[in-house]
Chain A
Amino acid sequence: MKKLEAIIQPFKLDEVKEALKQIGIDGMTITEVRGHGRQKGHKEVYRGQEYNVDLLPKVKFELVVPDARLEEVIEAVMNAARTGKIGDGKIFVYDVAEAIRIRNNDRGEAAI
C-alpha cells in the first residue's frame, strides 16, 4: 500500500475529488494548510505597512491506495490539479506498513 500526500491549490479541490471519484477512489482526508514552494507569495499593504505574505492557503489531501493503483491515481490527481502555473503544488508518496478498519478489524488492502 502507498500513501499519497498531495498539496494542491484550494480552488482545484473539487476537480481533484471528482477525478478520483471517476476512477473509483472513495476515501480521502483533507486538511486546509498553508505553505509555499518556489511560489514566493505576495505583498499586502495595510495603511502603508507592507507585509510579504509567503505562506499561502493550500489544501492537503491524504489517501492510501493499493500499490497496483498508484500510477493511475497520481495521473488523475496531476491532470485535475494542474494549471501549468507556479504554485500548483506537489505529490509525495510513502510506503504504508498497515491499514486497519476500526469497525471490524479488517487488515491490509481490504481496509482501505
Chain B
Amino acid sequence: MNTAFALLLQAAPNLDDRLKKLESAASSAQSAGDNAWMLVCAALVLMMTGPGLALFYGGLVRKKNVLGTMMHSFIMMAVVTVIWAVVGYSLVFGDGTPFIGGLKYLFLNGVGTAPNADYAGTIPQGTFMVYQLMFAIITPALISGAFAERMKFSAMLLFMTLWVFVVYFPMAHMVWGKGGLLNAYLGGSIPTFDFAGGTVVHITSGVSALVCALYLGKRLGYPTEIMRPHSLVLSAVGACLLWVGWFGFNAGSALAASGLATSAFVATHFAAAAATLGWLVAEWVHMGKPSMLGGISGCVAGLVAITPASGFVKPMPALLIGLAAGVFCFLMVTAVKSKFGYDDTLDAFGVHGAGGTLGAILTGVFATKEINDAQINGKVLPLGLVDGNGGQVLNQLIGVAIAWGLAIVGTLIILKIVDATVGLRVSTDDEREGLDVSQHGEEGYFLES
C-alpha cells in the first residue's frame, strides 16, 4: 500500500501536467474545427452575393441592364469590405452606446487570431470579423432590386456608402453588438431574437427598397411595356446558389460547428422547401400555371423568413414558417404590388421586407429553449410563445418597428442627399439605351462575335 501511495504521489505532478496538456489539446481541436467551419461559412455567404444575388437579379432585368444590375451586387464586395476594415466592424461590434458601437476596433486594431469571448470564444476574432463582413456586403446589395434599371452608378455608390453607416451599422449593433438595445444575450434592454438577420438584413434592406422604389418612381414604360426577365436561366442558377449559400448564413450564425448549427441548417432547408411549394401552389391556383420564377422566388422568401428563426425553432415550425412565407410573399408581389402600383422592380420589398417581417414575428412564436439553450443573464429562460413566453412576440414587434423606422427615415434622408448632390436617376435617353452602355460602356451579350 505504502509503495503504491508513494508511486501515485510521484506521478501526481506528472498527471497534472498531462491533464493540462489534454485540456489544451481539446480546446485547440475545438478551435480548429470551429474555425474551419466558420471560414467556409464566410465564403458561402460571400457566394450569395457574388454569383448568387448578381445572377438572380441579373436574369430578372432586360438584357440591356444585365451588367449594370450584376454590378450593383458585385461592387458591394469591394466597397463595403473597405468601409468594414476601416471603421464598420468597430461601429457594429466595438463597445459603445445601445445604438451604435464605438471606435475600439478602428482600422481593425486588436482584431487578430485571439478570440473575442463576448461573441465567439472558440474562433479567432479575425474569422468572426470577416464572417460578419459578408452580411454587411449582401444587405445593401439586396436593396438594389428596387431601383434596378434606372439608377445612376455614381448615385448608387454614394447611396450604399451612406446607407451602411446610417442604417446597417446601427441596426446590426443594436441586435448583435454587446450592449445593443435589442441584444438578447449581451445586455440589451429589449431582448429580441434575430439569429441570422431577419431585422438586421432583410427588414432593413427590404423596407429601404420600398422607400427607394417610391422615391425614384417607375421605370419608363412601366407597367405597359413588356419588361420580361431576360434570362430566367441565370435567375434560377442564382437562386440555387443563394439556397446553398444560405447554410453559411444561418447555420454559420451558430458561430461554431455545433449542434445549434445543425438545427439551424435543418430549419433553413426545410423552410426553403416548404416556401417553394407554398408559392408554387398559390401561383398555380391564382394564375393557372406553376412557374420556375415562382419556385425560385418562393425558396428565397422561405430562406428570408427562416433567417431570424433558424437557430431557435424545431423542424416542424420551420416548415410552417416557410409555407406561410411562400404564400404571403406571393400575395405581396402580386396582389399588393399591383394594387398600390409601385415599381419595386425585382421585389426586394415584397420578398425581403415582407418575408423578414413575417419571420421576425414568427420567431417570437416558435423560439424554444429545446433548440437554443444559450444562457440569458446566467440562466436558460423560456424563449417564445411555445415556451410560454408570449411577451416575446411583443419584443419582436418592437424590434421590427425599430428596423422599419430606421430604414424608412434613414433611407429617405440619404435619398434626399444623393438626389441633391449627384442626382439619382439616369437621363431618359440613358434609361432607354440601358445601364450597360450608358453607365459602363459595355454590353452583356455579343452572341455573334
Are A48 and B287 in contact, CB atoms less than 8 angstroms apart? Answer: yes
Question: Contact flags (1/0) for A51-74 with B, using CB distance below 8 Å?
Answer: 101000000000000000000000
The smallest beta-carbon distance between A77 and chain B, in angstroms, is: 28
A51 interface neighbour in B226, B287, B293, B334, Cβ under 8 Å: B226
Given contacts A45-B287, A45-B289, A46-B293, contact A51 B228 (CB under 8 A): yes
- Which residue of chain B is the closest to A53 with respect to CB atoms? B226
Known: A44-B228, A45-B287. 14 other contacts (CB 8 A): A45-B289, A45-B291, A46-B228, A46-B291, A46-B293, A47-B333, A48-B333, A48-B335, A48-B337, A49-B223, A49-B338, A51-B226, A53-B226, A53-B228
Which residues of B have CB within 8 Å of A46? 228-229, 291, 293
User: How far, in whole Å, are A49 and B287 apart by their CA atoms in the complex?
Assistant: 10
* CB-contacts of A14-50 with B (<8 A): 44-49
The smallest beta-carbon distance between B373 and chain A, in angstroms, is: 41
Q: Which residues of B contact A (CB under 8 A)?
A: 223, 226-229, 286-287, 289, 291, 293-294, 297, 333-335, 337-338, 347
User: How far, in whole Å, are A49 and B347 apart by their CA atoms in the complex?
Assistant: 12
The smallest beta-carbon distance between B275 and chain A, in angstroms, is: 15
The smallest beta-carbon distance between A31 and chain B, in angstroms, is: 13
User: How far, in whole Å, are A44 and B286 apart by their CA atoms in the complex?
Assistant: 14
The 17 sampled A-B contact pairs (Cβ below 8 Å) are A44-B228, A45-B287, A45-B289, A45-B291, A46-B228, A46-B291, A46-B293, A47-B293, A47-B297, A47-B347, A48-B287, A48-B334, A48-B338, A49-B227, A51-B228, A53-B226, A53-B228
The smallest beta-carbon distance between B232 and chain A, in angstroms, is: 9
Which residues of B have CB within 8 Å of A53? 226, 228
- Best-surrounded residue of A46, A47, A49 (most CB of chain B within 10 A): A47
Total count of chain A residues near the partner, CB < 8 A: 8
Which residues of B have CB within 8 Å of A48? 286-287, 333-335, 337-338
Which residues of B have CB within 8 Å of A49? 223, 227, 338
Which residues of A have CB within 8 Å of B337? 48
User: How far, in whole Å, are A103 and B223 apart by their CA atoms in the complex?
Assistant: 53
- Which residue of chain A is the closest to B279 with respect to CB atoms? A47
Which residues of A have CB within 8 Å of B338? 48-49
User: How far, in whole Å, are A44 and B229 apart by their CA atoms in the complex?
Assistant: 11
User: How far, in whole Å, are A12 and B172 apart by their CA atoms in the complex?
Assistant: 59
- Which residue of chain B is the closest to A48 with respect to CB atoms? B334
The smallest beta-carbon distance between A54 and chain B, in angstroms, is: 10
User: How far, in whole Å, are A73 and B293 apart by their CA atoms in the complex?
Assistant: 44
Which residues of B have CB within 8 Å of A47? 293-294, 297, 333-334, 347
Which residues of A have CB within 8 Å of B286? 48
User: How far, in whole Å, are A47 and B223 apart by their CA atoms in the complex?
Assistant: 13
User: How far, in whole Å, are A33 and B336 apart by their CA atoms in the complex?
Assistant: 37
The smallest beta-carbon distance between A32 and chain B, in angstroms, is: 12
- Which residue of chain A is the closest to B293 with respect to CB atoms? A46
- Which residue of chain A is the closest to B226 with respect to CB atoms? A51
User: How far, in whole Å, are A44 and B227 apart by their CA atoms in the complex?
Assistant: 11
Which residues of A have CB within 8 Å of B291? 45-46
Which residues of A have CB within 8 Å of B227? 49
Which residues of B have CB within 8 Å of A44? 228
Which residues of A have CB within 8 Å of B297? 47
User: How far, in whole Å, are A10 and B108 apart by their CA atoms in the complex?
Assistant: 61
User: How far, in whole Å, are A53 and B335 apart by their CA atoms in the complex?
Assistant: 22
Which residues of A have CB within 8 Å of B293? 46-47
Which residues of A have CB within 8 Å of B335? 48
User: How far, in whole Å, are A49 and B335 apart by their CA atoms in the complex?
Assistant: 10
The smallest beta-carbon distance between A110 and chain B, in angstroms, is: 33
The smallest beta-carbon distance between A36 and chain B, in angstroms, is: 14
User: How far, in whole Å, are A74 and B275 apart by their CA atoms in the complex?
Assistant: 54
The smallest beta-carbon distance between B349 and chain A, in angstroms, is: 13
The smallest beta-carbon distance between A39 and chain B, in angstroms, is: 18
- Which residue of chain B is the closest to A47 with respect to CB atoms? B333
User: How far, in whole Å, are A112 and B263 apart by their CA atoms in the complex?
Assistant: 73
User: How far, in whole Å, are A49 and B219 apart by their CA atoms in the complex?
Assistant: 15
- Which residue of chain B is the closest to A45 with respect to CB atoms? B287
User: How far, in whole Å, are A107 and B297 apart by their CA atoms in the complex?
Assistant: 61
The smallest beta-carbon distance between B178 and chain A, in angstroms, is: 41
- Which residue of chain A is the closest to B225 with respect to CB atoms? A51
Which residues of A have CB within 8 Å of B287? 45, 48
- Which residue of chain B is the closest to A52 with respect to CB atoms? B226
Which residues of A have CB within 8 Å of B334? 47-48
